[in-house]
Copies of this chain bind each other. A is one copy, B any other.
Amino acid sequence: MSESKSTNIVWHQGTVERPQREILNRHRGFTIWFTGLSGSGKSTVSVALEERLHGMGCRTYRLDGDNVRSGLNRDLAFSPEDRIENIRRIGEVAKLFRDAGVINLTAFISPYRRDREMARALSSDNDFVEVYVDAPLDVCEQRDPKGLYKRARAGSIPNFTGISAPYEPPEEAEIHIRTGESSVDECVEQIVAYLLANDYIESGLVETAGDG
């Protein structure tokens, strides 16, 4: 999979490319890649962060199990090779959204460093922000919003991350949030502060965008 099987391709340079789309949006396209255990708070924080960014006038989109697993990746199950392909496709779609000038938030366990690095390798400098959503396993298991840990402990879900399959925490994530200690709002503000401080977004956007 390191080389394209597709041939007969000639590049067609369009007039509207990423820079033009980003100028219209008044912000760059980039990816905020959440990673963490099931129940760590990836979905909750990404939903709240999208609401915050949208309120600032940013063009946003959230990729998560709901819209990806039921559509693009519906042919994939949870075998090791299907999990890799799952993350590979998500990384490629995230790249398309960056190219579209959209701030895209991905919320997947993405337990393996190698797979996350594969997704990052598709990005340019500084348009991939990894967020480690850190919560102790026992906290995640107590939350168990989908009842998955219970089923995994009962043996009815094989290869469940944290129980019967490993989770490899990021070693150099751009942002590290601790949902067992901080509220959702605090986590969102921590991420927004990082994005502002590193010029991913501007605080003044909200005044000019989205108003008639």
Contact indicator A15/B70 (Cβ below 8 Å): no
Chain B contacts of A21 at CB under 8 A?
A: 54, 59-61
Is B24 a contact partner of A57 (Cβ separation < 8 A)? yes
Counting every copy of the chain, the complex holds 2
Give A94 Cβ to nearest chain B Cβ, in Å.
10
Neighbouring B residues of A61 by C-beta, 8 Å = 21, 96, 99-100
Instruction: For chain A, give the interface size range.
Output: 35 or more
CB-based contact B77/A5 at 8 Å: yes
Judge whether A14 and B99 touch: CB under 8 Å: no
Chain B nearest CB from A163 CB (Å) reads 13
CB–CB B96/A24 < 8 A: no
Q: How far is the CB of A143 from chain B (nearest CB, A)?
A: 13
Contacts known (A16-B54, A47-B12, A60-B16); A71 close to B100, Cβ less than 8 A = no
CB atoms of B60 and A11 under 8 A apart: no
* Cβ-defined contact, A96 with B72, below 8 A: yes
In the bound complex, how far is the Cα of B141 from the Cα of A208, in angstroms?
49
Contact across chains for B9 and A69 when beta carbons are under 8 A apart: yes
- Taken together as a complex, chains A and B put the C-alpha atoms of A202 and B121 apart, in Å, by 39
Q: Is the CB of B47 within 8 A of A6?
A: no
Chain A, residues 78-107, CB within 8 Å of chain B (1/0): the string is 100000010001001101110111100000
> Are B25 and A59 neighbours in the complex by a CB distance under 8 Å?
yes
9 A-B residue pairings within 8 Å (CB atoms) = A6-B65, A6-B69, A6-B76, A10-B66, A24-B210, A59-B101, A68-B96, A72-B92, A93-B93
| A-B pairs, 5 with minimum CB distance | A6-B69, A72-B92, A61-B100, A4-B74, A14-B47
